[in-house]
Structure formats: C-alpha cells, structure tokens
Amino acid sequence: MSELSYVGKSFRRKDGPDKVTGKAMYAQDVKLANTLIGRILRSPHPHARIVRIDTARARALPGVKAVITVEDTKGIKHGFVETPRYPPDQEVLARGKVVHVGEEIAAVAAVDQLTAQRALELIEIEYQPLPAVFEPEEAMQPGAPEIHRSHPKYEGPHANIGGNTETAWGDVEKGFAESDYVREDRFECQLRTHGYLEPQATLAHWENDKLNVWTSSMGSFVKRAKLAKTLDLPYSSVRIHKTYVGGTFGGKIDLYSHEYCAARLSMITGRPVQVVASREEIFSAYRHAQPLILEIKTGVKKDGTLVAQRIRAINNAGAYRGSGVVVIFLAWGFTMIPYRIPNLKYEGLSVYTNHTVRAPQRGHGAPKVRLAIESQLDMIAEALGIDPIAIRLRNARGPGERLPNGDDTHNCGLSDCIRLAAERSGFLDKFGRDRKSPPSGTIRRGIGIGVSAYMGGTLIYPNGSGVIVKMNDDGSAVVLTGAIDIGQGSETVISQIVAEELSIGMDDVRIISSDTDTTPQDIGAWISGMTYVTGNAARQAASNARDKLLQVAAEKMGVTVDQLVLKDKIVCHRLDPERRMTYREVIAHSVATRRGDTVIGEGYWRTMRDEANHPSLATTKGRWTENYAFSTQVAEVEVDIETGEARLVKALTVHDCGFPINPALVKGQIDGQISMALGHAFMEEVITKDGYTLNPNWLDYRMPTIHNMAISEDVDVITEQYRVGQPYRSKEVGEGLVSGILAAIANAVYDATGVRLHSTPFTAEKILGGLKRLQYQAKTARQAKTEPVRA
C-alpha cells in the first residue's frame, strides 16, 4: 500500500471538542464525596534549622482531620535522578532544616479551606536562621554557607557542588593552538518558569488498600513509581487515573511534595484529600527552569572552520539536586550535535543555592546553550568577514556522521535547513541593511539566524512503551496506551497511526490512556519521544492485529495473506475485490475457529532497541538515541532606537523532524515554541530577592499575549518516510525549537542596532544601554581622530 490515508495528514485533535466545550475533566474537576482539603505549610526562610515543630494546636482545631510532618512519613527519599552516583536526596517534607523559601514542612487535611488555613496558622515552628546564598558563583566559593556537602566524587575546589559533568573529544588545547582566531565570551540567562495554566492539583483516595490518584502530570508511570516508593507500597497498590492536563512544559514530571501529602493524608483519614496549589505557590515554592552561566571559548580557521570549543556551564541548581545534574549533562549534547568540531572540552557544574528546586523546561538547557554558541558564532563570522549563512554551512553536520557519544546523525537534514532558511527569508539581502544605511525614523529592522538540534526518546525510566489494540466485533478498535496527552496531541497521533495500519476510520479508534492499572507502561510526555517510541508501539500493536485479521481471512477465503488487501474495514482479494470479508465477519470467524481469539494486537518500543548503556551523567559515556532532529530558525525584529524597545516581527523555522505524522500538530508545536522563545527573549523573568519571589503572578511575570505573537512560518525538510507495516523514524519537534529562534532573536537585535547582548531577557533598558555605549564609543573615536596625539 503506497498511499497514506491518515498518517501525514492534519486531522482534528481528538481532545479538541472536550476542551473547547469545557467538558474536559482536569484533576481539579474530579469530585469525590467527603473530600477533605489539604494545605501545605511552607518555610518562610531561605535557609534555617528547624528547632521545634508543634502541631498540637492545629490537631485540636475542630474540622482538622490530620496533620503530618516528616515524622509521619517513612523517611524514604526521592529525586529527579535516582542512580548510584546520584541517589535520591529529597525528603517529602523537610527534616531538621529548610533550604529554600516555600519548602514543605507540614501538611493538614481539614473539612474546608478556611479551617485548613487556620490549622496552618496554628502550627508552631521554631527556626534558627542560617546564612543563605543565592548566586552560584558565590555558593561555589570555599567558605560559602553550606547548603549540602559537595558530591563525594567531585574533586575540585568548589563548595556546594551537587554534581558535575566532564568530557572531551579530541584535543582542545592543540585545537586552539592551531586556530587562526580564538575568542571567549560569557552568557547568562534569567530565571524563567513554565507557565502552565492548569495549576498543580492532586486528588488522592485510599480505599480498600488501594491508593487512587488523579494528578496533573506528564508521566503517569513515573508518578506511580515515585509515590509507591515514598509511601512504601507495591506498584499494584497505586493507581494513577487519567485526567486532562492543562500544560506542563517540563514542570510536572517528578514527584511533588503535595502529591505525597494528599496520598498520605488520605491514608490516615480514609477520606479523599484534594490539594490544589495556588498560583502564588507555584511561582514562589514550586520548580522553575535552570538559569545557566556559560563560558565559551572557540577557535576557528580563517575560513570559519571550527577547530576547537571549550564550554563551561554553571547551573544555579536550587536547593536540592532536582534536574540540575541532568541539565549540565544535556548542555554537552546541545554543544556537540549540530556542528562538526574536532576538538571539544566540556565542564558542567551544578551548584546548590537557596532557591527552589529546578525542573526541566522545554528544551532543558538547549535554548541557553544555543544562544551562547550561535551568538558567538555570529561574532566570529563578523570578525572574519564571513556571512552568518556561510559559516554555518561550513560547519554543519551531514548525514551518517558519528557524534562524540557514538550516536549516528542518520538522515541529518541540517545543511538543507540552513540553505532553505536563508533562501526563504531573503537573509543575505536583508542582513546588515539597516546598519549600513540607517533609515529615517527611530525603527531599525534586523535579521538573525540560529541553528539547533535535539534528541528524541533518550532512555530514562520507564524506558519503553507498550500499546494494546483490541478489535471490537464491529471492526472498530480500542487502543490502550499509557501515553499522556498534555496538549501535544498524542491521542490524535496514536489514533492516526492505528487507523492507518488497520485501515479503519479515525472515529473507529477509541483511546484509553494514561491509567496505570488499565494501560501498558509508557515513557511519558517528557523526553521528546512519544511520537517515535509510543507511536511505533502503537504501529506495531495495530500491525499485529492486522496480521491476525489477514491470517484468519486468508484461511477462510482459501488464499494466501499476500493476495489480500485491507480497505475501510474490509479484507478483499487484491485482484478480485468481490472476494471480500468485512472485519465483523473476520473477527466472528476468528472467535469461532480460534478458540475465542477476539483479535488483540500487542506492540512495544524502546529507543536503540536493546542497547544496554544509559549515558553516564558524569562522563557522558554511552549512547543516547538514534533520533536527532536538526533545525535552522530566522528571526526578524524591530527595535526603537530611542526607547530600546524591541519586538519579534517574523519567525521562520526550517526543521528536519523526520516524518510529520500530523503536520498541523507540528505547526502547533513550532508556534508554541516561538511564543515561548519570545517570552524568554523579551519579557519573562521570575524576579527574586533573598530567595523570595517578587512577581508570583501572571500580572508581573509577563508571558507573551496573543498580541505579542509574531508571524511564524515553517518549512519541513522531510528526511524519512512512513510505510504501513514498517518501523518509522520521526524526530523531535516539541522542545528543540525554542533554541535556534532565541539565538536568532539575539543575532537580529545585533543586526538592527549593533548591540550585542550577553544576557537574557533583552529588555529595553539593556538595548538602550548598549546603544548609548555605542554612541559614546563613536564620539570618543571621532574625538581621538580629530585631536592630535599627545606626546
């Protein structure tokens, strides 16, 4: 079968009608009788010893059903990373010491909100404040306040080192020595957060020795594993139910204290307990992304060929390990993937500070790393007199290249992406135009480019996805998948694949998803692998059911399987379409003749098949994935040179996502990432002082509105194909595209104004400051020319 009917087409989202009519049930909408309200008591200190906790008065308050502190837990720790090198490091409630403002100390369950609030006020805690530290480079100094001991395997001189990554490829010092031009720069990023609209919310109900949980999440099986572990329950005693999810962007993976507390409070009271975080709590006590400091030194030949690059990343990792040690590992990846650099050296340090714990955020470090590398690449190109397109084409990786980690770039489409991006945007015609001949008025336009690459489906628990396709008597199908639709459209994509493989309609596919008791295990929606990993599992499951249908039909019709084709719930003879059986007839025949076989297909998938190695976070050894997506993005900005105000006017994304199963969903991912990048570039910042969050609301944490959104165009460079019955390769498209465009915006601001910014956000104040410095430099240069040289 050559023509595709479902895959590769922009089908309407399965969850669309429920969401736009308000019928979709989110965790907060699930109601059970006699539900108690849970609330969390949080630390008012960034760093303090807990001398005494007295909950007696809170317990005595009428309407309070339970109060817990760490003494009411089993003391089992959890962590974003749980490996021998990085064992779990965080208790579910603080023990003996708090290390950030908002850290969870106690939890109450009461009959209503007001009582719960009163109960929190009645808990007495005596603190002994300790000196706190918030900047990573201060926290690293010997003698800085110790938040936690440095990692036992870290041998360097610094304090508060939660973990480090070191790796090299080639000989970087030799590379610098052989370079014609070397430059060093430093880049910094602000603290940003995910901005999911649905708050963190959990309902837990302990009933008949079973814990039922509805929680806003991005991976049901990760939640189950961590809840079961910290509660010391078998996995079979914990069931995470499906709910709709109102956005995550990386911020809802891992275990959160409130989820444990809801569960524990329900186990104590025997009643359902609901905890819903307020927006202020999410901003001031929950997890944000990771601000990185990047020091980058690069050496090139005169023609722009990259010879050597050394990068040092310092992560302000917050008060527990969180994903801090992962981002410094991944930052290496975002360094080494897109360009061919023979000599590389990388060091990453994850530094404890008295900030809230960190989580991945869409791109998990890539936007910051690519901003640094791509900004510096433009500076190098300018110094060498090469244009930004030529220097990128010169260094871009091609197909079938071996990466330092042993992975293969396969059908890498990067060069095509760069060429197409330059062509479609008219890059070289526009580049430098307003700097060479400034137009009248105060608006300057600039264009910039950025390149990025991202890996999909890298191995981390639970590593693989299973899918079951059950045929119904009438030929329609029910798909059981652990995949969680967080808004990216996984249920739509899986339905398209199953419809294609089985040749049934989209409406014939019903999805039962993300319920840990009824659906197979799934990797979750957080490592950019669902369309590839779960999608291939779904393809295999549907294919498995199709093979059974074909065998039964072939037997009954007295032909061989290869003489048959499937079309619209009918099996027919390839040459004589009148010889046919409906699926209904085939399934009835299967039940009748195969001891009741109702036709169930099974499928499963894992990145890199059975490759044993997980990559080491510390040394980067070990393979990551067989899927790398490459992209090139172009930004056009306008800057008012009197006020410094800048805006993104137009974005172009040219990307190689393999094969787009649903082009409209791909487009949605691109537009969403453009919007996130422009928030990063111009607006968003979690402002903190002494560990307190100064803007814990949507008003003062400024995410872009629809009116800020720029024109977003995109082009697919399709490097893979989908064939029914064959494994397919789709690549990442959900988080890698925040990066190139962020770098492109930085480069475009430079192109418009001549101002090179080394830190985000690019506020009007910073741009104006840069313009003033340029004016001053021009003035002093003029004066130097006209004044005689002093003896």
Partner 1 sequence: MILLDFGYERAATLQQAAAWLARLGDGAHVLAGGTDLLPSLRAELVSPGVLVGLSGIEPEPPRLTADGSIRIDALTRLSSLAHAGLVREKLPMLADSALAVGSNQIREMATLGGNLCQETRCLYLNQRHDYQFAAPCFKRGGDCCHPFPRNDRQTCWSVHMSDIAPALIALGAELEILGGAGMRRIGAAELYTGSGLQPLSLGRAELVRAVIVPPPPPRSGWGFHKSTVRGGLEFGMAVIAVSLQLAEDGASCCGARIAVGAVRERPLRLESAERALVGARLDDERLARVAPDAAKALNPLPHHGFTRRHLLDNVAVYLRRALAQAAERARTGRA
Q: Which of 383, 687, 711, 778 binds partner 1 (CB under 8 A)?
A: 687
Q: Which is nearer to partner 1, 5 or 278 (CB)?
A: 278
Q: Is 705 in the site for partner 1 (CB under 8 A)?
A: yes
Give residues 40-99 in contact with partner 1 (rule: CB under 8 A): 42-44
d(CA 379, CA 130): 44
Task: Kindly write out the interface string for residues 244-273 of this chain, putting x where it contacts partner 1 by CB under 8 A and - elsewhere.
Answer: ------------------------------
Q: Which of 48, 67, 240, 285 binds partner 1 (CB under 8 A)?
A: 285
394 contacts: CB under 8 Å, gap ≥ 6: 303, 304, 305, 386
Q: How far is the CB of 39 from partner 1 (least distance, A)?
A: 9
Task: Kindly write out the interface string for residues 626-645 of this chain, putting x where it contacts partner 1 by CB under 8 A and - elsewhere.
Answer: ----------------xxx-
The stretches of 87-171 forming alpha helices (DSSP H) are 113-122, 136-139
Q: Which is nearer to partner 1, 128 or 697 (CB)?
A: 697
Give residues 642-681 in contact with partner 1 (rule: CB under 8 A): 642-644
Q: Is 708 in the site for partner 1 (CB under 8 A)?
A: yes
Q: How far is the CB of 734 from partner 1 (least distance, A)?
A: 25
382 contacts: CB under 8 Å, gap ≥ 6: none
The SS3 call for residue 543 is helix
Q: Can you read off the two tokens belonging to residue 712?
A: 């977003």
Cβ atoms of 79 and 287 closer than 8 Å = no
Closest CA to 69 of 36, 42, 35: 42
Closest CA to 331 of 286, 298, 300, 295: 295
Q: How far is the CB of 229 from partner 1 (least distance, A)?
A: 28
3-class SS shares of the chain: helix, strand, coil, % to 5: 30, 25, 45
Q: How far is the CB of 57 from partner 1 (least distance, A)?
A: 17
The SS3 call for residue 220 is helix
Q: Is 765 in the site for partner 1 (CB under 8 A)?
A: yes
Q: Is 702 in the site for partner 1 (CB under 8 A)?
A: yes
How many CB atoms neighbour CB 8 within 10 A?
17
Q: Which is nearer to partner 1, 80 or 283 (CB)?
A: 283
Give residues 119-138 in contact with partner 1 (rule: CB under 8 A): 120
User: For tokens 């999805």, what's the residue?
Assistant: 511
Q: Is 707 in the site for partner 1 (CB under 8 A)?
A: yes
Q: Which of 696, 734, 736, 754 binds partner 1 (CB under 8 A)?
A: 696
Give the up-direction half-sphere exposure of residue 395: CA atoms within 13 A in the CB hemisphere. Answer: 31
Q: Which of 1, 114, 383, 561 binds partner 1 (CB under 8 A)?
A: 114
Q: Which is nearer to partner 1, 203 or 557 (CB)?
A: 203
The SS3 call for residue 447 is strand
The SS3 call for residue 526 is coil
Q: Which of 38, 79, 88, 102 binds partner 1 (CB under 8 A)?
A: 102
Q: Can you read off the two tokens belonging to residue 512?
A: 């039962």
Q: Is 764 in the site for partner 1 (CB under 8 A)?
A: yes
Q: How far is the CB of 262 from partner 1 (least distance, A)?
A: 16
Q: How far is the CB of 22 from partner 1 (least distance, A)?
A: 16
Q: How far is the CB of 201 from partner 1 (least distance, A)?
A: 13
Q: How far is the CB of 779 from partner 1 (least distance, A)?
A: 18
Q: Is 284 in the site for partner 1 (CB under 8 A)?
A: yes
Cβ atoms of 454 and 366 closer than 8 Å = yes
Q: Is 318 in the site for partner 1 (CB under 8 A)?
A: no
Give residues 538-567 in contact with partner 1 (rule: CB under 8 A): none
Give the burial string for 90-119 (b: 16+ CB within 10 Å, else e): bbbbbeebbbbbbbbbbbbbbbeeebbebb
Closest CA to 53 of 102, 158, 126: 126
d(CA 355, CA 701): 17
Q: Which residues bind partner 1 (CB under 8 A)?
A: 42-44, 101-102, 113-114, 117, 120, 278, 280, 284-285, 642-644, 682-683, 685, 687, 689, 692-700, 702, 704-705, 707-708, 763-765, 768
